[in-house]
Structure 1
Amino acid sequence: MDSMFQVLPDRQTRFHANDLNLAKSMADASYQVVINAADITGHVEDITNRIVEQTELLGAVASSIEDMTDINTCIATSAHELLVEANIVTDRMSEVQAAATRSIGEAIGLIDDTATIVNRLPAIKGALDEIARAVDGFGEVARLRDRVVRRVASIAESTARNREHCEDILEEVAQLNEAEQETKEDSKNVSNQCLQLSDLGSELYYTILASGVETADTPFIEVVMETAKTITAALEAALDNEEIDLASLFDENYVQMPDIEPPKYTTRWLPLIEKLIPPICEPLSTITPDVVLCTITDRNAYMPVNNLKFSHSPTNDPAWNATHSRHRIRHRDRISARIARSTKPFLVTVFRRRLGDCTQILKDVSSPIFIGGRLWGNVRMLILIKVENVDYILKQMDIHRAVERMRGDDAAGTGKRTPDLETERPKPHRDYPKKFCFHHAGRLKIIDNHDIQLFFAKDRLVFIQTEDGKQHSVRSTLSDLEEKLDGSQFMRCHRNYIVNMNKIEYLTNWFNRGYLLTLKGETKTEIPVSRVFVKHLKKYIEFD
């Protein structure tokens, strides 16, 4: 039987028993280093992504504040112009009113002293009375004008204050943005250091395995190496049968398919690969419950095909496609590029991956495919690593049996299903605090969870607020509380707020695709849900 050990040193040259034990210990240690480095790298990347989202949010806030500042400036300018015009109108109205009053008096006096127009007196006096009433109306208009002017002056004063506040906020936003950029750079440096540590651990692990030391990964390595040989033979047979020419098989012109997100690509050799590879790789994707997938990528990390569960037809939903339609895609991350270009007989790589709402630590076992002495690509098998409170344990005997059954060796099979450690292990029960206490009048006062409306941070302190609006300080941080609280009842909706989901009464659309929560109680407290936490809110509430 061909195996990886044909390309490794002969058994007679291996370590003595004590050296072998030491080598296995080193393999375990280096493997654990790689897992930890991958986990840390993933967390750092999550932090970096959240910083990017917050930076975008800060940009939107700054833009809104700048718009508000411009509006306030326009209001203040318009109010000033209105005041000037109003004063001019007032002066003109006063002049008209005074002139009209004088004219009425003179007209009435003239009428009283003139006997020749006695017959026309009633009509003239009636007209003059109408003029007098109109002049009185001028006075009422003037009073209303004064009221409006006072209101406009108040608005102008308020907008001036608002403009000053906006300018202060813009300055603070700029400082916060600068600090977040520095944090992002620090996160990048930490990520690079973790990747270097992962590379060193992987290299040490490879060296130990290549020396002939057997570990739990040995059966996976054997299967992947044999699969690479099988695929190499199949592609060379296709060349011999003139199903494809060498130039087309090494085609690197990736043509993007239209109107699909994330992007998908085709090549000249794709039809041949779609015919040859699935029958070889699909059975390997189920040899143990922990195998996530088994497929190939070319030397540029292009994945032409995938297993059936990840090869659904694309839809108009990019998020759904990214999880369920993962064939004909190009991987552009550093780890995929490193695997795709590897020419070592095998490679074991550990990395952290986010797929939809699920985060996994995966082990990638790969082996190169050579055509005519040239690297074409790699066979890749992804295996789930279950990291819990105890070290990762893999039942080597179960894997060997699964491999033997895959090869058709009935004598090795027992007919029993390989146990899935994740589903069969009892789920740990976690107790959440049902009450909280805080200092009050020299004593500790107890409050039930169902009476708590929200937790919030203000001026570097954290407070509990109840439905009656009363607030009590607690000696904790929101992050610590978030870890302690029952996630089915309390949700972090903002960096400054944790809200009791049972206390929400109304939901209102807010700016930048966020929401405003109105809570039950006497005060009708309003709490923002920032865009970053909207996805968490949608886990609690069914939206139409």
Structure 2
Amino acid sequence: MNRPLNAKALINGDDAVFGSPVEQQTRQAANLGGVIQDVADRVGVLSVTLAEVSGDVQDVTALYKSKTKGFQQLRTGVHSMAERGRQVVHAAGEALDTAANARARVDETSHRLKQVMQDVSALTAHVNDISAQLSRVSHSMVEVTKISAHVSELARQTNLLSLNAAIEAARAGEHGRGFKVVAGEVKELSNQAGNATAEISKTMDALGAQMNAAIAQAGAATKLADQIRNSTDMVGADVEVLPKVLTVVHQVQTDIVGAARAIGDDLNHAETEIDQMTKAVETASVSLASASDKLTALTDTSEQMISLTARLGVDTVDTAYIRAVQQVSRQVAERFRDAVEAGQILLNDLFDEVYVPIEGTDPQQHITRFTAFTDEVLPPLQEPVLKFSDKVVFCAAIDRNGYIPTHNVKFSHPHRPNEADWNARHGRNRRIFNDRVGLNAGQNQQPFLLQAYRRDMGNGEFAMMKDVSAPIDIFGRHWGAVRLAYLV
């Protein structure tokens, strides 16, 4: 029977290739084990690297998604600004036309106001002339009154003379009869003159009262006319300035229209640029999301390869952790089964999926019907694993939905108000971790699942870790798993 030759051994001059078949199989098994271990180590490094790259891509993807939203909002804002800019240009154009029309109307109104002011000045002059004439008439009436009084005095004296003449004529008897007739006529004439002067005086008194009232009204009219003239003088000054002001306003409006049109052009250009940038960012976001999905799938494949090499029975760097988590998962499953059989907890309560939010917690914590039970039974099983290696970060049971009811003591501090970052690092118990790693661990039903991932340590710091989990089965029902996380 011909034996297969090891070409590599022949090339290297290895004489052992010609040993017995048992020796050859032993050597081949040893070589195969070494190759498998080497492959496992390399795949392990690859999975960690892929997890790290996948985390970076996810960060960039998340950043691009946020930026995409920001660009979309910016695009909406620029669209709105551009539309408002066009409205401003339109409004500024209308304002410019309005200013031009107003300036034309003001010019026309200014001309009319100047004419009105001239008319008011002429009217004021006429009122002043009338007032002066009334004053002169009043003075003449005073003179007439004086003359009338003098005539009245003459009539009185004439009446006295006629009375004396009549007396003398009576004494003269027949010789004074003609003189008596003359004296009677003189008396009648003086009586008429007295009556006339009395009527004149009465009329002059009435005219004097009316004249005084007219003079008073004319004085008031003169005063009012002077005030109107002063006001129209000031209005005239304002009217003369107003066209100049409107000219300046028109120029400013012209400048505004020009600036608004320039802004509108810039906004239109920016609108086009932002549209292009938004489309580019959206395209990049989609590409990154696709790359992230492919990297996640590749990471899953590398993790499956790690699991396959581990199941071949070859010890790798992860073997000790795999065995440790499997042992703890068996202990937890046994403890859960014993508790159900002893009536310590009902099976339905142990599989409760009603996660009641705990008020005042941030990040949100939840409680179920089995939380108090796991708080009692899990710490003695989980805490000792933390001493297994200084690389171990945590060991905790997680249900099939990603809920960790009872975490390690160092991660189970009460939440502090308004300190979400601190709580996220130190109060990780009673929380739902439904991320990829958490859900994969809780839902896996294979003997074990080995995953690599990047853990957020806060403040922008990350640590590359591996997560090995083993399922927990209770009376044929899958409850969840025990997770053991350790630094790479």
Question: Above 0.5 in TM-score?
Answer: yes
1:511 aligns to what? Answer: none
Is 1:325 aligned with 2:427? yes
Q: Which of 63, 71, 83 is 2:96 aligned to?
A: 83
Deviation at 1:102? Answer: 2.1
Q: Which one of the candidate residues 15, 21, 27 is aligned to 2:34?
A: 21
Query: 8 Å contact 1:294–1:381 — kept in the other structure?
Result: yes
Deviation at 1:254, TM superposition (A): 2.1
Which is further off, 373-382 or 327-336? 327-336
Which structure has the greater CA radius of gyration?
2
Contact residue 264 and residue 329 of structure 1 kept, 8 A: yes
Is 2:130 the partner of 1:116?
Answer: yes
Structure 1 residues without counterparts, runs of 5 or longer: 1-11, 386-544
3-state SS of paired residue (1:251): coil
CA distance in 2, matches of 1:111, 1:365: 110
Q: Superposition RMSD on alpha carbons, in Å?
A: 2.7
Question: Matches of 1:375 and 1:107 in 2, distance apart?
Answer: 107
Quote the offset at 1:85 in angstroms.
Answer: 3.7
Q: 1:354 aligns with which of 456, 467, 475?
A: 456
Matched, 1:376 2:479: yes
Assess if the C-alpha contact under 8 Å between 2:47 and 2:302 holds in 1. Answer: yes
Encode CA deviations 1:448-501: one digit per residue, 9 max, x unaligned. Answer: xxxxxxxxxxxxxxxxxxxxxxxxxxxxxxxxxxxxxxxxxxxxxxxxxxxxxx
Determine if contact 2:325/2:469 at 8 Å carries over to the other structure: yes
1: CA distance, partners of 2:235 / 2:326: 103
CA distance in 2, matches of 1:300, 1:122: 102
CA distance change for structure 1 residues 113 and 343 in 2, over 3 Å: closer, same or farther? Answer: closer
Report the Cα offset of residue 14 of structure 1: 12
| Higher percent of residues as strand | 1
Post-superposition offset of 1:256 = 2.8
Structure 2 unmatched ranges of 5 or more: 1-24, 136-218
- C-alpha separation between the residues in 2 aligned to 1:14 and 1:382? 36
Aligned length: 374
Write the distance in 1 (CA, Å) between the matches of 2:451 and 2:383. Answer: 21
Kindly indicate whether the alpha-carbon contact (under 8 Å) linking 1:101 and 1:132 is maintained by their aligned counterparts in 2. Answer: no
Distance change (3 Å), C-alpha of 1:107 and 1:169: closer
**Residue type matched to 2:481 in 1?**
N
Spell out the pairing of 1:208-247 with structure 2 (5 A cutoff).
Answer: 208-247=309-348
Residues 473-492 of structure 1: pairs in structure 2 closer than 5 A: none
**Partner letter of residue 56 of structure 1?**
K
2:339–2:345 Cα contact (<8 Å) kept = yes
Contact 2:402 2:442 in 1 (8 A): yes
Identical residues among aligned pairs (%)? 25
Residue identity opposite 1:220 in structure 2? Y
For 1:215 and 1:73, the matched residues in 2 are separated by 70
Residues 296-334 of structure 1: CA deviation (Å, up to 9, x unaligned): 101222111212232222233433333332222222223
Q: Quote the Cα distance in structure 2 between the aligned partners of 1:260 and 1:66.
A: 41
Q: CA separation in 2, counterparts of 1:320 and 1:59? A: 33
Residue 205 of structure 1 deviates from its aligned partner by 2.0
2:256 to 150, 155, 160: 155
Partner of 2:110: 97
SS at match of 1:55: helix
Q: Are the structure 2 counterparts of residues 15 and 184 from structure 1 closer, same or farther at C-alpha, using a change threshold of 3 Å?
A: farther
CA distance in 2, matches of 1:341, 1:107: 102
Residues 260 and 316, structure 1, Cα contact 8 Å, conserved in 2? no
Higher relative contact order, chain-length normalized (CA < 8 Å, sep 6+): 2
- Separation (CA, whole Å) in 1 of partners of 2:275 and 2:308: 50
CA distance in 2, matches of 1:261, 1:59: 30
Secondary structure, in 3 states, of the residue corresponding to 1:293? Answer: strand
The residue that corresponds to 2:279 in the other structure is: 178
CA distance in 2, matches of 1:194, 1:110: 99
Are 2:278 and 1:192 aligned? no
> Which has a greater percent of helix?
2
The TM-score normalised by the length of structure 2 is: 0.70
Distance 1:18 1:108 in 2: 126
Q: Specify the SS of the correspondent of 2:313.
A: coil
